[in-house]
Amino acid sequence: MADPLSDLWRVDTSDFQDSDSLQSILTSILRSVPDAMIVIDDSGVIMAFSLAAETLFGYKASDVVGKNINCLMTETDRVHHDQYIRNYLVTGERQIIGIGRIVEARLANGESIPVELKIGEAAIGDRKLFTGFIRDITERQANIHRISELQAEIGNFSRLSAVGTMASAMAHELNQPLTAVANYLEAARDMLDAPSADDLAMVQEALTAAAEQSIRAGQIVRRLRDYVSRGELDLRPVDLKAVIDDAVTIAKVGIDGPLARVVVRMEDPEVRVLADRLQLRQVFANLIRNAIEALSETETPQVWIHTRHVDGETAIQVRDNGPGLSEELIHSPFDAFQTTKANGMGLGLSICQTIIEAHGSTIEVSSQPGAGAAFTFTLRTAIEVTE
């Protein structure tokens, strides 16, 4: 029977006298390609397994060729993989092909490791073959995790320093008007012990002055709040997909246990929006991480990110299939210092709201118990200027 892999390779066979010569070339490639390389058919069955794949996974090619590729997957991806292939063959909608993704791979010894997966496809008659290139990124992820921890420590130190400075400034500025309020009210109380007509007039003046000083204190608080929430935006056209991809990677760092599958579906994968790249990435990272953490006890955890065009803007939704928002959060999810996490500060959603509002939009949430939560907002679509 003819080798089904031979049609994968765009080579001139006129210099080869027989199929054995071509087969030896293909075998050489499978032995020498530096990254793990696996070829499967459109039913998910492994057709070729490179030497680097043997080294990475701990299987011999003879152990896995002819088996379904899901034997190399963790439980989270295994239950969905064949359906993803069927969906792609029917709809043509790509999730990984030509894009790349970080996933978990299952080794022969039962351990799982993070890998970078890139997939290409080739048509052979009415069938399709898929070639996957897999690279172990355990060390890279460890470095990212360590860098993230260091950044968190630096950020925590800076935050505590800023909080201390703000508290000191607020105490200093509030001390005078609050002291004045207390003095005016004490004087009014004393004059009311045995009030005369003149005393009543002075009580009115003292209460009026106390009210004025309390308003001044409120203005100080608002000014400090505005100072904290105001930030200079570096608005420019940014690649929305690149921002989302970066945020997905950041959101997964440091999370123990199985990770939810994050599915990105964009009406236009090349859309650019007018935004501050760093702040927008923070919004996505916060929303995605919150969703992943909320799905820790969900049987098939998934997070969907949808984007579409709406009247010159790009509508974005981050949705999960988790338990939904708790009773504590459902009525005012964006209020600061509200959290159901043991170590949370309750600032994530408040920060998201501040950033989105600074971009001239609003963020809304919908949630039903047991049906997950969905956060929706819009951004201005960047208009490309052509010469």
CATH number of the domain within which 192 lies: 1.10.287
Strongest mean pLDDT among 9-13, 207-211, 231-235, 315-319: 315-319
pLDDT band at 317 (very low <50, low <70, confident <90, very high): very high
- pLDDT of residue 12 exceeding 70: no
Per-residue burial over 211-222, b = 16 or more CB atoms within 10 Å of its CB, e = otherwise: eebbebbeebee
- pLDDT of residue 321 exceeding 70: yes
Place of tokens 């201390």: 164
Length reported for the chain: 387
Out of 229, 257, 289, a domain closes at 229
The reply to whether 29 and 132 lie within a common domain is yes
The reply to whether 39 and 86 lie within a common domain is yes
The reply to whether 179 and 199 lie within a common domain is yes
Q: In sequence order, what are the residues at sequence separation of 6 or more whose Cβ sits closer than 8 angstroms to the Cβ of residue 328? A: 338, 340
pLDDT in tens, 130-165: 888 888 888 877 777 667 666 666 655 555 555 555
Contact 81, 43 (CB under 8 A): no
pLDDT in tens, 246-275: 888 777 766 766 678 899 999 999 999 999
* Strand 373-380, strand 313-320: pairing: antiparallel
The reply to whether 242 and 215 lie within a common domain is no
pLDDT in tens, 18-54: 556 556 767 777 777 888 999 888 888 898 899 999 9
The reply to whether 192 and 312 lie within a common domain is no
Which two tokens mark 197?
């007509």
- What is the dihedral angle through the alpha carbons of 242, 243, 244, 249, rounded to the nearest 10 degrees? 90
**Is residue 143 one of the residues assigned to a domain?**
no
* pLDDT greater at residue 333 or residue 126: 126
- Measured CA to CA, the distance from residue 136 to residue 116 in angstroms comes to 7
Q: At what angle do helices 138-191 and 197-229 cross, to 10 degrees?
A: 170
Specify the 3-state DSSP secondary structure of 83: helix
Question: Which structural domain, as residue segments, surrounds residue 215?
Answer: 161-229
The reply to whether 125 and 245 lie within a common domain is no
Task: Return mean pLDDT, the chain.
Answer: 77
**Is residue 225 one of the residues assigned to a domain?**
yes
Out of 229, 244, 263, a domain closes at 229
- Measured CA to CA, the distance from residue 37 to residue 29 in angstroms comes to 10
The reply to whether 337 and 208 lie within a common domain is no
- Measured CA to CA, the distance from residue 109 to residue 291 in angstroms comes to 31
Q: In sequence order, what are the residues at sequence separation of 6 or more whose Cβ sits closer than 8 angstroms to the Cβ of residue 83? A: none
CATH number assigned to the domain comprising residue 321: 3.30.565.10
- pLDDT of residue 379 exceeding 70: yes
The reply to whether 69 and 131 lie within a common domain is yes
**Is residue 151 one of the residues assigned to a domain?**
no
* pLDDT greater at residue 233 or residue 6: 233
The reply to whether 372 and 288 lie within a common domain is yes
Q: How many domains does the chain have?
A: 3
The reply to whether 264 and 290 lie within a common domain is yes
**Is residue 284 one of the residues assigned to a domain?**
yes
**Is residue 142 one of the residues assigned to a domain?**
no
pTM: 0.48
Out of 229, 263, 287, a domain closes at 229
The reply to whether 363 and 240 lie within a common domain is yes
- Measured CA to CA, the distance from residue 223 to residue 76 in angstroms comes to 49
